[in-house]
Structure 1
Amino acid sequence: MPLTVWGLAIAQALLSSGNILLVSVSALIGRYLAAEPWLITLPVACQFLGLILSTLPAAHLMQRLGRKSGFVLGNLVGLLGTWVALQGLASTSLALFACGTFLIGVAIGVGQQYRFAALEACDSGLHARAISLVMAGGVLAAVIGPNLAVWSRDWYPDNPYGGAFYGLFGLYLVALLLILLLPLPVARPVDRAEAVRSYRELFRQPLLLAAVASGMIGYGIMVLLMTATPLAMDHHQHDFPATASVIQWHVLGMFVPSFFTGHLIRRFTTRRVILWGCSALALSVAVNLSGQGYWHYWWGLLLLGVGWNFTFIGATHLLSFSYRPAEKAKVQGINEFLVFGAAAVGSLFAGQGVVLLGWSWLNLLSLPWILLVFALILRLDRRSAATA
């Protein structure tokens, strides 16, 4: 595997560590700064907004300037965001802190392009393994993120959670230095004579439709049920250590399979791996519906993580067969916008879903979407899917 792919895997680990770190502290800081209860999640909402709004511009910017310049700019925005967030903490300003998390969200949106950069850094026969390796950086993040949130509690004198942003600053700085050292592919001039299809024409391709739906629904369902799980466990009288254990194993289920997902794709085809992912998601729902004991949640969330891994990595690989070189930025950008838009919807709906519908109905409402992806992948022409 080329050195560049390994470097991108480390960069992805640093990015994911920052994401987990933010998840650990943003809502708690919002509660500290907010004057009204409904404003507590404003920093989290601003982070998602920055992520979603940056996806399309980031893809087009990188096609014009190259991956290295795009990633450098993204990390610089992340460094600026951490500084603005610290100023918000120092002045106890929720608005300023939320501006900081918005900028950090933009940096996260740019960093989502790491897996596409890995595709360009190796031969087509290594694409599936390259995507898997980059996503496997999440295993390291599962260790760094939560521990950094704990270690940094004494770094900032006025707020026990402010030190997390010094830690986040350090992560972005290391990622910036790493990107500057990596021999990333330079920008290639786009052939202006090559026709670029409209979104309507592009989405008439069953391959693209299946790839985007797999990424959207796999990510959206995963975030929905993962975010709702702590609320459901608390409702069913599980203590916090039990909830933390379930979430930790869920994160491992998300990223540990990445070490062999690429090999599975090469051996059994992308189509079959995505179908296995849909099956794991459906099995997760079945386990969640079968009871509310600790092991029900443990197995349900572990299967949810594995299902996300297979659908997301499979979708990324499938997507790479659906566009021409001149359409790369357009397709990658709209894919990221839709996938992370679905994740944002899942995150925002989770709390209200548990309160209004209950844990069981929330799981039942996930099933039709999982079956939709299953149907879209099944109907792909076997020869084109096998090539992917």
Structure 2
Amino acid sequence: MASDRNIRILTVAQALGGANAPIVISLGGLVGQQLSADPSLMTLPVSLLNLGLALGTLPAASVMRRFGRRSGYVFGACIGMVAGLVSTFGILHASFILFCMGTATAGLYSSYVQSYRFAAADNVFGAERQKAIARVMAGGLIAAIVGPQLVIWSRNMLPGMPFAGSFLSQAGLAALSLPVLLLLDRSSPSNLNEATNVTDRPLLAILATPKYLIAIVTGIVSYGLMTFVMTASPIAMVGHGLSISQATLGIQWHILAMYGPSFITGRLMARFGKERLAAIGLLLMATSAVVALSGTNLAHFWGGLVLLGVGWNFGFLGATAMVADCHTPTERSKVQGANDFLVFGTVATASFFSGSLLHSGGWQTINWIVVLTVVLVLIPLVWTLTRRSSSLRLER
């Protein structure tokens, strides 16, 4: 089937494009420290990655709505190549501003990569749609390994210019994704805009529907809280006496926990329902905060990060499947674009404020915020599930 072929292609593209963000996250602060005259700005390149991702979601959706998914993704990969080259030139010329422009552009590229999960749901229905989303996201597991390993292998590739080779490799991965994306079937992208006579609803009308609102909020909380905690975790671990190596390994386990469950998440959604799995994901995130609140030794940090990763997987993929059920084919681009704008806008905000809140309120404050936020979101989500179960019983 063409759809199954496209899912395999998107999984490979996710493995290549998904390595973009880990490279910037791993090195952005170190290069910023090296290039910035103001130490307080050293994490700005990473924050600009998240800001570029948030700002790029709506333009990316517009491009794909007009020209189709395949053309949009090829254009996105070209942006990724430019991002890596600009960052490389920034390092070569010791220009902090140029380097920041490169990482912000990398965020624009990520706005295309993030929508691969929605493309997997095109022309796939029912339980197969949920499995398709999870299969593509499984490519993120490969990206989580490829990105850090590429940093290690290429960081000294250009003599006397530490890390320049890593960003040159970032451009290379985007270039490798081009021939892969060109294999996508032309009939599967968002070229259904004129294929139906169904009238588009205004975006505000769609936003007002409880089903879409709950899906968006679930995605915002899943991704936003994960970023909030992950950004603060390495600082907190080192601050509580653990080594940098232990902190780095903890983040690696967290990323593996984020993407590893994707091989079974689709089947779990098909069996238990996407809303129920999303609720379980949020509960796991709250549990991770409880574990973190119970102590500050290595097991507490690592155990919390692993639970946080699995919770993100269930919550975010469940929310993605919920959004995919909230629109008609003609509404696809604007609904998905608005969702990603709100989700990744929150992610950018979380990355900006996580460090300062850790500094002012401490590690326990970070985790209490997670618990309280999850409780607030679980109330309407569980209420929706309860109403649906009651309706099904009455129909029988």
| TM-score where L is the length of structure 2 | 0.93
Aligned with residue 334 of structure 1, among 332, 338, 347: 338
* 2:257 aligned with 1:282: no
Aligned with residue 205 of structure 1, among 183, 187, 209: 209
Q: Which residue of structure 1 aligns with residue 361 of structure 2?
A: 357
Contact 1:5-1:134 within 8 A present in 2 as well? yes
Contact 2:14-2:140 within 8 A present in 1 as well? yes
Aligned with residue 153 of structure 2, among 148, 151, 154: 151
Aligned with residue 255 of structure 2, among 231, 236, 251: 251
Q: Which residue of structure 2 aligns with residue 136 of structure 1?
A: 138
Superposition deviation, residue 384 in structure 1: 11
Q: For residues 240-265 of structure 1, what are the alpha-carbon distances to aligned partners after superposition, in whole Å with 9 as ceiling and x for unaligned?
A: 12112211111111011110011011
Comparing 44-53 and 341-350, the one that deviates more: 44-53
Contact 1:215-1:339 within 8 A present in 2 as well? yes
Superposition deviation, residue 285 in structure 1: 0.9
Contact 2:47-2:351 within 8 A present in 1 as well? no
Q: Which residue of structure 1 aligns with residue 324 of structure 2?
A: 320
Unaligned runs of 5+ in 2: none
Contact 2:9-2:183 within 8 A present in 1 as well? no
SS state at 1:159 partner: coil
CA distance in 1, matches of 2:379, 2:68: 37
Contact 1:271-1:385 within 8 A present in 2 as well? no
Superposition deviation, residue 194 in structure 1: 3.7
RMSD value over aligned CA atoms? 1.8
Q: Which residue of structure 1 aligns with residue 114 of structure 2?
A: 112
CA distance in 1, matches of 2:334, 2:391: 22
SS state at 1:2 partner: helix
Aligned with residue 263 of structure 1, among 261, 267, 274: 267
What does residue range 337-348 of structure 1 map to in structure 2 within 5 Å? 337-348=341-352
Contact 1:228-1:350 within 8 A present in 2 as well? yes
Amino acid at match of 1:170: G
CA distance in 1, matches of 2:192, 2:275: 30
Q: Which residue of structure 2 aligns with residue 308 of structure 1?
A: 312
Amino acid at match of 2:94: T
Comparing 44-53 and 64-73, the one that deviates more: 44-53
Q: For residues 13-46 of structure 1, what are the alpha-carbon distances to aligned partners after superposition, in whole Å with 9 as ceiling and x for unaligned?
A: 1122121111111111111111111232232232
Q: Which residue of structure 1 aligns with residue 183 of structure 2?
A: 181
Structure 1 residues 355 and 385: CA distance shift in structure 2, 3 A: farther
Contact 1:5-1:121 within 8 A present in 2 as well? no
SS state at 1:120 partner: coil
Aligned with residue 67 of structure 1, among 66, 69, 91: 69
CA distance in 2, matches of 1:330, 1:372: 27
Structure 1 residues 166 and 121: CA distance shift in structure 2, 3 A: farther
Comparing 369-378 and 300-309, the one that deviates more: 369-378
Aligned with residue 381 of structure 2, among 377, 380, 387: 377
Superposition deviation, residue 121 in structure 1: 5.1
Amino acid at match of 2:307: L
CA distance in 2, matches of 1:385, 1:230: 46
Q: Which residue of structure 2 aligns with residue 368 of structure 1?
A: 372
Contact 1:63-1:188 within 8 A present in 2 as well? no
Q: For residues 184-226 of structure 1, what are the alpha-carbon distances to aligned partners after superposition, in whole Å with 9 as ceiling and x for unaligned?
A: 5242233696433334321222211110001001101001111
CA distance in 1, matches of 2:51, 2:308: 25
Aligned with residue 21 of structure 2, among 16, 19, 22: 19
What does residue range 207-226 of structure 1 map to in structure 2 within 5 Å? 207-226=211-230
Amino acid at match of 1:261: T
Structure 1 residues 385 and 289: CA distance shift in structure 2, 3 A: farther
Matched length: 386
Contact 2:228-2:351 within 8 A present in 1 as well? yes
SS state at 1:31 partner: helix
Q: Which residue of structure 1 aligns with residue 33 of structure 2?
A: 31
Contact 1:270-1:385 within 8 A present in 2 as well? no
| TM-score where L is the length of structure 1 | 0.95
Unaligned runs of 5+ in 1: none
SS state at 1:103 partner: helix
SS state at 2:296 partner: coil
Q: For residues 29-81 of structure 1, what are the alpha-carbon distances to aligned partners after superposition, in whole Å with 9 as ceiling and x for unaligned?
A: 11111111123223223222221111011112112111110000001111112
Q: Which residue of structure 2 aligns with residue 231 of structure 1?
A: 235
SS state at 2:120 partner: helix
Contact 1:4-1:121 within 8 A present in 2 as well? no
CA distance in 2, matches of 1:366, 1:358: 13
CA distance in 1, matches of 2:329, 2:376: 29
Contact 2:24-2:49 within 8 A present in 1 as well? no
Q: For residues 90-118 of structure 1, what are the alpha-carbon distances to aligned partners after superposition, in whole Å with 9 as ceiling and x for unaligned?
A: 21111111111122111111111101111
CA distance in 1, matches of 2:159, 2:328: 53
